[in-house]
Structure 1
Amino acid sequence: MRILMVEDEKYMAEAIVQVLKKNNYSVDLVYNGEDGLDCGLSDIYDIIILDIMLPKLNGINVLKELRKNGIETPVILLTARGETEDKVQGLDSGADDYLAKPFHTDELLARLRALGRRKTELINDGILKYGDIQLNPLTLMLGCGSKEIKLTLKESQILEILIKRNNMVISKEMIIEKLWGFDTDADDNHVEIHVSLLRKKLNRLESEVLIHTIRGAGYVLKTAKDGE
């Protein structure tokens, strides 16, 4: 699970990031609202941890802009203890949960697990459908009719992105940032290899679903009946 943390108290934020990484979360950390908004708008994160009191742009305005731009990523707001007005305003602006500072990291981890489960429930028990295929990201199984095939983790993640954004052209850059992170050595070739293998598995399933390459732009899902 990939997390964006937006917090200007650097010592506290860096300590939390270390705890999250030890618990197998991938975390990007920024220290002001403008950077938080830019990162959040990339729509590559599974959960955002967002402080309200931030330099340049406060957390409530960051949250409002994210929701205004159609970003549905779950957001945990960090509020000052006892500030009921902040909590109410945050929830009304589209936050999914909040934590009052100071908090124990065990509580944050529990909230993250709960939001992760809720996200899975929102996609029909984890099953994603497009055309004649069904993808279970939890088991990595891809089905078409009576046939099934096991995907690698990266193949499943790429197909999940394409299904969830099936009306959009997805760039290789977005796939790299989502799957490998901003500071990775992975390049376009990594994506092309996984997409090629994924196409072969779709073909083995005799699926009507095709991964089309849009030259210079990226990939988009189509079905055979959609044409070129």
Structure 2
Amino acid sequence: MRVLLIEDDPDTAAYVVKGLEEEGHTIDHMSDGRDGMAQAMGDDYDVLIVDRMLPGIEGLAIVKTLRAAGRKVPILFLTALGGVDDRVDGLDAGGDDYLVKPFSFSELHARLNALARRPHLKGEETRLRVGDLSLDLISRKVYRGSTEIELQPREFRLLEVLMRNKGRVVTRTMLLERVWSFHFDPKTSVVETHISRLRTKIDKPFATELIHTIRGSGYSLHEATS
């Protein structure tokens, strides 16, 4: 999943970001309500996590504005405001779920998965396919034909990025940003190492290769053309 977190408390944000990244998800974090709303308006996310009390623009106003603009992205309120009236206000504003702090990460993750499974809220397909390779974004399972392939969270995220860009060249810099959240080049072979591991699992046991190196540019995942 691609998640936007709008949360001004640094400890809560660090906890959520770390947990979701360890599960293989991509998460962007904004600590200011105004910046968060602009980010939500300008980009596509699978789920939004929004605090109620935020600097700039408070959470209820963000959600009302997004809904008025026709944005149907699932939204989970994550807030210390836990009264019945607070919950009602959040849901009436357009929120899809409401989780009160303090919270367990396992419950947060389960609720996000439940929101992503709602087909009427999900703008994107939840299963990606390239040839006989399929990746389920909800169950987090990968198959090549009828064979299930076990991937580590970072390998799963790397494959997801390649599949979302099937047939297009994905550069090393793009992979560092989208898979490892590096906005600089750390001068390591982390991309090459993980691509090699993916090839061992995705390509080598099978008759046809899907992951292709585009020399001097990056990588592309596609069926080979004759």
Question: What is the TM-score normalised by the length of structure 2?
Answer: 0.60
In the TM superposition, residue 4 of structure 1 has moved relative to its aligned partner by 4.4
Q: Distance in 2 between matches of 1:156 and 1:193?
A: 14
Counterpart selection for 1:88 from 89, 92, 96:
92
What residue number does 2:98 align with? 98
Distance 1:171 1:33, change over 3 A: farther
Q: Distance in 1 between matches of 2:184 and 2:58?
A: 29
Q: Distance in 2 between matches of 1:18 and 1:159?
A: 25
Q: Conserved in 2, the CA contact under 8 Å of 1:16 and 1:105?
A: no
Amino acid at match of 1:206: A
In the TM superposition, residue 75 of structure 1 has moved relative to its aligned partner by 2.7
Question: What is the TM-score normalised by the length of structure 1?
Answer: 0.60
Q: Conserved in 2, the CA contact under 8 Å of 1:132 and 1:207?
A: no
Cα offsets for 1:164-203 (capped at 9, x unmatched): 3437654434433343234898557322332244345414
Q: Equivalent residues in 2 for 1:99-138 (5 A)?
A: 99=99, 103-106=100-103, 110-119=107-116, 128-135=128-135
Q: Conserved in 2, the CA contact under 8 Å of 1:2 and 1:25?
A: no
Q: Conserved in 1, the CA contact under 8 Å of 2:163 and 2:221?
A: yes
Residue 15 of structure 2 corresponds to residue 14 of structure 1: no
Amino acid at match of 1:163: M
Count matched residues: 208
Q: Conserved in 1, the CA contact under 8 Å of 2:47 and 2:116?
A: no
Distance 1:98 1:128, change over 3 A: same
Q: Distance in 1 between matches of 2:181 and 2:174?
A: 9
Amino acid at match of 1:115: L
Q: Equivalent residues in 2 for 1:59-208 (5 A)?
A: 59=59, 60-61=61-62, 72=73, 74-78=74-78, 82=85, 84=88, 87-91=91-95, 96-99=96-99, 103-106=100-103, 110-119=107-116, 128-135=128-135, 142-144=143-145, 150-166=150-166, 170-182=170-182, 189-200=189-200, 201-207=202-208
Amino acid at match of 2:156: S
Identity, % of aligned pairs? Answer: 28
Where does the alignment leave 5 or more consecutive residues of structure 1 unmatched?
none
In the TM superposition, residue 63 of structure 1 has moved relative to its aligned partner by 8.0
Distance 1:184 1:14, change over 3 A: same
In the TM superposition, residue 113 of structure 1 has moved relative to its aligned partner by 1.5
Q: Conserved in 1, the CA contact under 8 Å of 2:16 and 2:105?
A: no
Q: Distance in 1 between matches of 2:195 and 2:52?
A: 40
In the TM superposition, residue 32 of structure 1 has moved relative to its aligned partner by 0.7
Give the RMSD, CA atoms, in angstroms: 4.7
In the TM superposition, residue 61 of structure 1 has moved relative to its aligned partner by 4.4
Q: Distance in 1 between matches of 2:39 and 2:106?
A: 22
Q: Conserved in 1, the CA contact under 8 Å of 2:49 and 2:75?
A: yes
Q: Conserved in 2, the CA contact under 8 Å of 1:180 and 1:186?
A: no
Q: Conserved in 2, the CA contact under 8 Å of 1:133 and 1:207?
A: no
Q: Conserved in 2, the CA contact under 8 Å of 1:155 and 1:198?
A: yes
